[in-house]
Amino acid sequence: MPEAMDASPGAAAGGLAGRLWRGLRLPLGDPLAVFGLMIYVLFILTAVFADQLATHDPTEILYTPDYDLAADRRPGEDGYILGTTSLGRDIWSQLVYGSRSALLIGLTAAVMVALIGTLVGLVAGYFGGWVDAVLMRLADIAFGIPFLPFVIVLSAFLEPSIWNVVLAMALVLWRDTGRVIRSQVLSLRTRAYVEAARVCGSSDLKIVFRHIAPNILPLSFLYGSIAIGWAILTEASISFLGFGDPDTISWGTMLQDAYASQALSTRAFHWFVPPGLCIILVVVAGFLVSRGYEEILFPKLKE
Amino acid sequence: MSGMRQIAGRLAQLVFVLWAVATILFLMFRLMPGNPLAAYIDPTFTEEQQRILMARFGLDRPLWEQYLIYLANLLRGDLGDSFFYRQPVFDRIMELLPNTLVLTFSSLIIAYGFGIVVGAWLAWARGGLAERIVIPVVLTTRAMPEFWLGMVLLAIFSFWLGWFPAGGTRPPGAEYDSLLALYASRDFLSHLALPVLTLAIYSQGLPLLLMRSNMLEVMREDFVTMARIKGLPRWRVVVLHAARNALLPVATSFAIAVGYQIQGNVVVETVFSWPGLGRELVNAVSASDYPLAQGAFLMIAAVVVVMNLIADLLYGILDPRVSHA
Amino acid sequence: MTRMFRMAAAAMLLAGAASSALAAGDRIRELKLITRPQAAQPSEFQFAQIIAQEWRKLGLDVKVEVMPWEQMADVVWYNRDKWDMTAWQMVGRPERSDPDELLYNLYHSSTSAKGYNFVGYSNPDYDRVAEAQRREVDQEKRRALVFRAQEILAADQPVMMLVHPRSTFAFDKTVWDPASVVNQGGIGIKNFWTFVSIRPLGGQRDIVLNSSDNVQGINPLWISGGTDSWITELVWDRLLRIGPDGLPRPWAAENWEWTSPTSITVTLRPGQVWHDGKPLTAEDVRFSFEAAMGGEAPMYAPFVRNIAAIDVDGDRITFTLKEPSAAFLTSTLAKINLIPKHVWEPVLADLATREENAESHQEKMPIGSGPFRFVSWTTNEEVVLEANRGHWSAPAADRWILRIVPNAEAALGMLRSGQINFLADFPGDPKVLVDAAAADGDLEVVSTTDIGFRYVAFNNRRAPFGDPAFRRALSSAVSRELIVKAAFKGFAEPSNSIVSPALPFWHDPAVDNMPTGLDLARQILSEAGYELVGGKLHYPDGVRETLAE
């Protein structure tokens, strides 16, 4: 199986099982990865304390005392930190609550992708035979499904919800992780200590989860941290195309709202730029962390 | 001999994947609750008229029969008739596919040209200030939502500076003898510029990073070390020996990138009013035009699958170290 | 304001607590209000939120349910007893310049089961008036009946009328002479008359306009998307056309004459030719109406249902009707596209043998007799028409080029940079457009009160909406000024009638300016016996909540 088929540069390198056990820890040695982790911490704190940080209910329609809509306020005007939208919602509060959906989508999608991909890779790689054949044909099919169109179709059929993106990722994007991990397992399976465990009569389950799985975990984390970014970007695209969940405040729906209300023409940068920046920051953080993992996995890149 | 066999095997796999995707699509579209034609039945229709419309699209038959007809039609290249346009889906898709392919390929060629050169340069200049600046910048371009980038470019270069038109493929009312004449015209290039720039900025990250890491790897290999020991100038070593060898895997990733790009085109085509397959898919899905959505989806999937296959084969040819055991 | 409300609320709360010992009716269940998504319909989404917010102050539980259009249509049309309330929109079309279509189809009880009366309104008095007005050929007498119908609706409030939006369009006044742009009442400046008469000031002689929707088909026998109708109007002529004043006027027919209440004769204008050069004859006219009456053009069938016979005598055509119809000119003679018999006869004969009907037949080169002729259609990109110089009312412009621009931001940007010169479709915020035009200087923005309207429909079949008092209370609870300001940015007229003030002859001013306010709503509710118990609204004494599921 040609693992360099994968878009991730890290996957190109082979035969590195020996170095794998050095993984399974946060990539704290790399300053950029640490920066990425700090961004995560910042957004996680924002999401946790959203109720305290937000000044308004993000969906509430705001009025002036004489019952006019408090729309299109500039930052700072009338006490709205980042101003208000064309439909009279507080932008700062939306931004703050947006971090909740972003992290919710990003982290669940990452866990799903990493978990499913890892399980498939482990099972296929370790057991081989028809199990492997079936799982890898499934992966072939998943590779044949164009992802964004798939999410669009799925979102159109199901109730609009941010979980559609997570579901689509779980259904399709395990493929990359699955294939790479399978090839790692293939090479690990023949190693002496696994053979030893087998000779000693360890059960398959025990071998897989005690001896093999820990060695591939950093690889799962690598794909997981890329998936965070994918999920957030996908949610934003889906919202932009009008298939998002109108009841949930996310950075994607904020951008869609700003676009539909022509924030570009009115030069409402305070509305249009912050959600974009937040998306970029979180996604970049995912990349930086994944690069940190990559360097743990493939230290010769760093040398 | 085994090469031929291998190719035959791969082709069989391709057919299998396409069949599976087509089946999944069929089930998704047909098992959905409600009448698939609901959006097209005018409230003033009598029941007789509704029945005729259902029969017109074959929706009055049992599901398994619909499935067999669907597969048989697919084999003949017949994707059914669009609910929305009342016209064959295949014709519409074929009209839009060239626009999408031109957009995809031109942006990727630019992205790869840029990425390969800059990636090689970064490997050459590794450890320096350039690396510390360029890599985060590259990662940032990959983290931008494509439509957001497109909107910003549109606002700056079209609405503000007025350098490029805001959408479409041609000036209003312009006529061309053929598709080729259109694609070769200056007008077309100026319409193409902004969407291509958007996509190229987004996609240059992959070849750039890939080129850089391959270079670093190749430069440690024996023949490069040999060349260095022989006292060849550093730039010659890098360009003639390392870059050439590092290029092969990057080239194979091009095929994969086509597959990735064509599915991501959806949003950029929408921002730039580009008459392509992706925008048609979005329209069809919003208009509940299932045959058209299905057809556009299948066509995109076919491109993805074929590109995966090409990458697979190329990889086997270019890199003999990989065996297809 | 807020303080006053709090005090009132507190008072109501106390009153509720005191009366809870008495036997109130069931508590009113949670009511659901359906709206389309914000992305697709920002104004609708916004007014639904505001209205729900206000109704909650009456002690009701209101949930706003967001559905895409297809799903909404499916629930509202095909599951008529399964929903409570829905936001709804009627769009303005030239043929709705005659009040009959809306008055009859929307609220006559006969259309309640399957037709347009999806709210299930049923009032025998109203039925009688609606029937009488469609038979009355005397304009003044008919007008009195139309007023009467509007007054009954205002009293019954089958739906909560909100606004007639102002449709807003713009053009480049350095390219087009503003004096040559026609503002059609209730439709706006994007209309047939403008495209025929608009006069270039300089070298740019092409009308370049935008649409956010794709063109579905260019077909005289299929009523497809709204954008398509702009094209069919220009390519195919009709016997009459609805004038800028909303009344029918002669077009391909020079004149018409009612010879009896069920018989009308028209005379064809001489010397008309099809775009392929063949003469347009009375036989072509007869063929066009018979095509609509045959089975191959189902969407036109309702418009010709009343025709009993068509007789041709030279260039005079006589239509015999099954029953008298005041709206026949508007909804039939000004509606049916004239099509060339020599082109369509073989096509229809072929279609008769197949499952497809005329809607699937897209001509490669459509042939009409209108003031513009078809040139080209590039999928999802543009449609080009050119002036028909041989037409008796030939346009002043050279070409009419429709560009498909899927979003408002790009459309406005293209207008400002001159890539289009007529903004014919602007789904965005009209205020942004007005501000942009003020900053630009070259643009003229024209907004016109629409024939169409926006409302919240109550399902009259379903408790508690069967009670007119309850509907009246809900409708009076919300200030229409608030809706105009907060959901339409001022680009709308408050409305209490399905006949738009854009049709001054038919609109009854007596129903305008309905008083509103939460206090008024509370008063209506308490007079009708509804009670607040623990802050929640209950049915009148002894009433149980029963739903026919």
More confidently predicted of C20 and A196: A196
Q: Give the C-alpha separation, B54 to B175, whole Å.
A: 39
What percentage of chain C exceeds 90 in pLDDT? 54
- Cα–Cα nearest to C530, from C470, C490, C478: C470
Q: Residue C54 falls within a domain, yes or no? A: yes
pLDDT at position A55: 84
- Cβ count within 10 A of residue B248: 17
The band of C548, judged by pLDDT with boundaries at 50, 70 and 90, is: low
pLDDT of C8 above 70: no
Q: For the ranges B151-160, C2-11, C220-229, which has the lowest average pLDDT?
A: C2-11
Q: Which residue has the tokens 């057809």?
A: B295
pLDDT at position C2: 47
pLDDT of A16 above 50: no
Q: Quick one: C39 and C152 in the same domain?
A: yes
Report the pLDDT averaged over residues A24-52.
Answer: 83
pLDDT at position C408: 82
Interface confidence: ipTM more than 0.90: no
Give yes or no for a contact between C446 and C181, defined as CB atoms under 8 angstroms apart.
Answer: yes
- The CATH number that applies at residue C430 is 3.40.190.10
Q: Give the C-alpha separation, A102 to A88, whole Å.
A: 23
pLDDT of B325 above 90: no
Q: Quick one: C23 and C160 in the same domain?
A: yes
pLDDT tens string B63-104: 888 888 888 888 888 888 888 888 889 988 998 999 999 999
pLDDT at position A12: 36
- Cα–Cα nearest to A217, from A194, A241, A188, A258: A188
Contact B175 C401 (CB under 8 A): no
pLDDT at position C291: 93
What is the chain A residue with the closest CA to B295? A149
**Residue ending a domain, choose from C405, C421, C441:** C441
pLDDT at position C30: 92
Q: What is the pTM of this model?
A: 0.80
What is the chain C residue with the closest CA to B52? C355
Give yes or no for a contact between C468 and C424, defined as CB atoms under 8 angstroms apart.
Answer: no
Q: Give the C-alpha separation, C299 to C229, whole Å.
A: 13
pLDDT of C281 above 80: yes
The band of A181, judged by pLDDT with boundaries at 50, 70 and 90, is: confident
What is the chain A residue with the closest CA to C40? A242
pLDDT at position A15: 41
Least CB-CB distance to A67: which of C1, C46, C435?
A: C1
pLDDT at position B46: 66
Q: Residue C4 falls within a domain, yes or no? A: no
Report the pLDDT averaged over residues C124-146.
Answer: 90
Q: Residue C3 falls within a domain, yes or no? A: no
More confidently predicted of C8 and C527: C527
Report the pLDDT averaged over residues B253-263.
Answer: 85
Q: Quick one: C515 and C390 in the same domain?
A: no
Q: Quick one: C28 and C151 in the same domain?
A: yes
pLDDT of A13 above 60: no
Please report residues of A whose CB lies closer than 8 A to that of B286.
Answer: 156, 242
Contact B148 A276 (CB under 8 A): yes
What percentage of chain C exceeds 70 in pLDDT? 95
Which residues, numbered 409 to 448 in chain C, qualify as contacts with chain B under a Cβ-Cβ cut-off of 8 Å? 409-410, 413-414, 416-417, 419-420
The band of C1, judged by pLDDT with boundaries at 50, 70 and 90, is: very low
Contact B140 A284 (CB under 8 A): yes
Least CB-CB distance to B167: which of C362, C401, C405?
A: C405
- Cα–Cα nearest to B34, from A155, C116, C77: C77
CATH H-level, domain B96-318: superfamily: MetI-like (1.10.3720.10)
Report the pLDDT averaged over residues C135-142.
Answer: 85
pLDDT tens string C402-453: 999 887 888 888 898 888 999 998 877 888 899 889 988 899 999 989 888 9
Touching B: which chains, 3+ CB pairs < 8 A? A, C
Please report residues of C whose CB lies closer than 8 A to that of B86.
Answer: 217, 222, 356, 359-360, 362
Q: Quick one: C39 and C159 in the same domain?
A: yes
pLDDT tens string C364-408: 999 999 999 999 998 888 999 999 999 999 999 999 999 998 878
pLDDT at position A67: 64
Q: Give the C-alpha separation, B114 to A12, whole Å.
A: 21
Residue type, C444: E
Strand, helix or coil for residue C23:
coil
pLDDT tens string B269-287: 988 889 999 988 988 887 7
pLDDT at position C393: 93
pLDDT tens string C218-229: 999 988 777 888
Contact B34 C74 (CB under 8 A): yes
pLDDT of A260 above 60: yes
Report the pLDDT averaged over residues A171-181.
Answer: 87
Domain residue extents for chain B: 2-75, 96-318
Q: Give the C-alpha separation, B304 to A136, whole Å.
A: 17
Q: For the ranges A153-162, B257-266, C47-56, C377-386, which has the lowest average pLDDT?
A: A153-162
The band of C45, judged by pLDDT with boundaries at 50, 70 and 90, is: confident
More confidently predicted of C163 and C24: C163
Report the pLDDT averaged over residues C240-265.
Answer: 91
- Non-local CB neighbours of A118 within 8 Å, separated by 6+ positions: A177, A178, A181, A213, A216, A217, A220
Report the pLDDT averaged over residues C174-199.
Answer: 92
- Non-local CB neighbours of C199 within 8 Å, separated by 6+ positions: C176, C177, C179, C180, C396, C397
Q: Give the C-alpha separation, C164 to C451, whole Å.
A: 7
Give yes or no for a contact between C68 and C34, defined as CB atoms under 8 angstroms apart.
Answer: no
The band of C496, judged by pLDDT with boundaries at 50, 70 and 90, is: very high
The band of C16, judged by pLDDT with boundaries at 50, 70 and 90, is: very low
Q: Quick one: C94 and C155 in the same domain?
A: yes
Q: Give the C-alpha separation, A227 to C377, whole Å.
A: 42
pLDDT tens string B194-235: 999 999 998 888 889 888 888 887 777 766 677 777 777 777
pLDDT at position B319: 57
pLDDT of C13 above 70: no
Give yes or no for a contact between C348 and C296, defined as CB atoms under 8 angstroms apart.
Answer: yes
Which residues, numbered 360 to 379 in chain C, qualify as contacts with chain A under a Cβ-Cβ cut-off of 8 Å? none
Contact B166 C382 (CB under 8 A): no
Strand, helix or coil for residue C532:
strand
Please report residues of B whose CB lies closer than 8 A to that of C74.
Answer: 34-35, 38-39
Q: Residue C351 falls within a domain, yes or no? A: no
What residue numbers bound the domain in which C376 lies?
174-236+370-441
Domain count, chain C: 3
Please report residues of B whose CB lies closer than 8 A to that of A33.
Answer: none
pLDDT at position A52: 86
Greatest alpha-carbon span in chain C: 85
- Cβ count within 10 A of residue C140: 7
pLDDT of C85 above 60: yes
Give yes or no for a contact between B30 and B63, defined as CB atoms under 8 angstroms apart.
Answer: yes
- Cα–Cα nearest to B147, from B189, B202, B193: B202
pLDDT at position A57: 83
- The CATH number that applies at residue C461 is 3.10.105
Contact C417 B85 (CB under 8 A): no
- Cα–Cα nearest to C31, from C9, C64, C68: C64
Q: What DSSP string describes chain A? A: --GGGSSSGGGG----HHHHTT-SS--TTSHHHHHHHHHHHHHHHHHHTHHHH-SS-TTPPPB-TTS-B--SPPTTGGG-TT-B-TTS-BHHHHHHHHHHHHHHHHHHHHHHHHHHHHHHHHHHHHH-HHHHHHHHHHHHHHHHS-HHHHHHHHHHHSPS-THHHHHHHHHHTHHHHHHHHHHHHHHHHTSHHHHHHHHTT--HHHIIIIIIHHHHHHHHHHHHHHHHHHHHHHHHHHHHTT-S-TTS--HHHHHHHHHHTTTTTTT-HHHHHHHHHHHHHHHHHHHHHHHHHHHHH-GGGT-
pLDDT of C158 above 90: yes
Please report residues of A whose CB lies closer than 8 A to that of B261.
Answer: none
Contact C38 A86 (CB under 8 A): no
What is the chain A residue with the closest CA to C37? A246
pLDDT at position C399: 95
pLDDT of A14 above 50: no
**Residue ending a domain, choose from C418, C441, C464:** C441
Please report residues of A whose CB lies closer than 8 A to that of C407.
Answer: 259
Please report residues of A whose CB lies closer than 8 A to that of C40.
Answer: 242
Kindly state the tokens that stand for A197. 């465990």
pLDDT of A7 above 50: no
* C-alpha distances out from residue B32 to B27, B61, B290, B301, Å: 8, 16, 11, 21
Report the pLDDT averaged over residues A172-196.
Answer: 82
Q: State chain C's mean pLDDT as an integer.
A: 88
pLDDT tens string A57-101: 887 777 776 667 777 788 877 778 888 888 788 899 999 999 998
Give yes or no for a contact between A220 and A177, defined as CB atoms under 8 angstroms apart.
Answer: yes
Greatest alpha-carbon span in chain B: 88
Q: Residue C13 falls within a domain, yes or no? A: no
Give, as one character, the DSSP assignment of residue C438. H
Instruction: For an interface test with A, give the residue of B16, B147, B206, B281 to mutate (most A CBs within 10 A).
Output: B147
pLDDT of C264 above 60: yes
Contact B38 C74 (CB under 8 A): yes
pLDDT of B253 above 60: yes
Q: Give the C-alpha separation, A164 to A153, whole Å.
A: 10
Q: Quick one: C72 and C183 in the same domain?
A: no
What is the set of domains in chain A, with CATH numbers? 17-51+88-298 (1.10.3720.10)
